[in-house]
């Protein structure tokens, strides 16, 4: 690998390729001699300590902090602490997305209510004719609920396809930026749950329009303009 150094471009032998989660994976590890000679680096920002079997990371961290912590002004963090911090940040990000999802669900439910209400108003005479031909109030309500279920299913399918496309694109961008490969796992259970939720929300949103359609009086519906 050819790198630009303080002494110009220099070819270095690559001993190994590792996965490094620091600095987004954009790091190069070298020997002290090479760092001092070619990059004029004489300081250290991070020490990685591997605990031998039989020793507790907490005990070793306390010993290092007691002996060198204050004198060297060290900040000690274990892999478990870093992992918990990363998981906490991810939980906060996903929590923000959950809030956006809830808002989107409320807006979608209001859209279903508005669409079905306008549909019932525009088809008032048609519903009156169906009632006059013998359709019961329950059948009218079921018809509106079936339309809402179809809307929810189609909307959920489009949303699922768009979500899968967006997540795969985001994962590809993260893989290209971070420098290490992330495996995409298709959440089949989440897809099924999202479709079920979309249908349930559409049914709840259609209750009032269905009740309104079922409550139409035949004579008033036929004379509606």
Residue 19 confidence (pLDDT) above 70? no
Label residue 69 by pLDDT band (50, 70, 90).
confident
Give the pLDDT confidence of 188-211 residue by residue, as tens digits: 888 898 889 889 988 988 888 888
Q: By the 8 A CB rule, do 215 and 137 touch?
A: yes
Residue 39 carries which DSSP code? H
Mean pLDDT for the chain overall: 83
Domain extent listing, the chain: 2-72, 79-222
- Quickly state the pLDDT bin for 180 (edges 50, 70, 90): low
Range 110-137 average pLDDT: 84
Structure tokens that stand for 200 in this block: 């349930």
pLDDT of residue 179: 59
Count the Cβ atoms, other than its own, within 10 Å of residue 61: 18
């Amino acid at each position: 690998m050819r790198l630009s150094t303080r002494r110009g471009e220099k070819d270095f032998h690559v001993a190994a390729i590792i996965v490094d989660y620091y600095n987004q994976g954009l790091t190069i590890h070298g020997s002290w001699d090479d760092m001092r000679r070619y990059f004029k680096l004489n300081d250290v920002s991070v020490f990685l300590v591997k605990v031998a079997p039989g020793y507790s990371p907490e005990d070793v961290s306390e010993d290092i902090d007691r002996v060198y912590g204050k004198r060297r002004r060290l900040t000690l963090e274990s892999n478990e602490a870093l992992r918990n911090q990363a998981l906490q940040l991810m939980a906060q990000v996903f929590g923000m997305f959950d809030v956006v999802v809830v808002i989107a669900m409320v807006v979608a439910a209001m859209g279903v209510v508005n669409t079905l209400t306008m549909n019932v108003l525009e088809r008032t005479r048609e519903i009156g004719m169906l009632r006059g031909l013998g359709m019961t109030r329950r059948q009218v309500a079921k018809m509106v609920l079936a339309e809402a279920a179809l809307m929810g299913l189609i909307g959920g399918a489009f949303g699922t396809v768009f979500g899968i496309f967006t997540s795969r694109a985001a994962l590809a961008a993260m893989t290209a930026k971070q420098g290490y490969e992330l495996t995409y796992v298709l959440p089949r259970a989440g897809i099924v749950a999202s479709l079920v939720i979309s249908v349930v929300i559409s049914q709840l949103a259609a209750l009032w329009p269905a009740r309104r359609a079922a409550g139409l009086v035949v004579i008033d519906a036929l004379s509606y303009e």
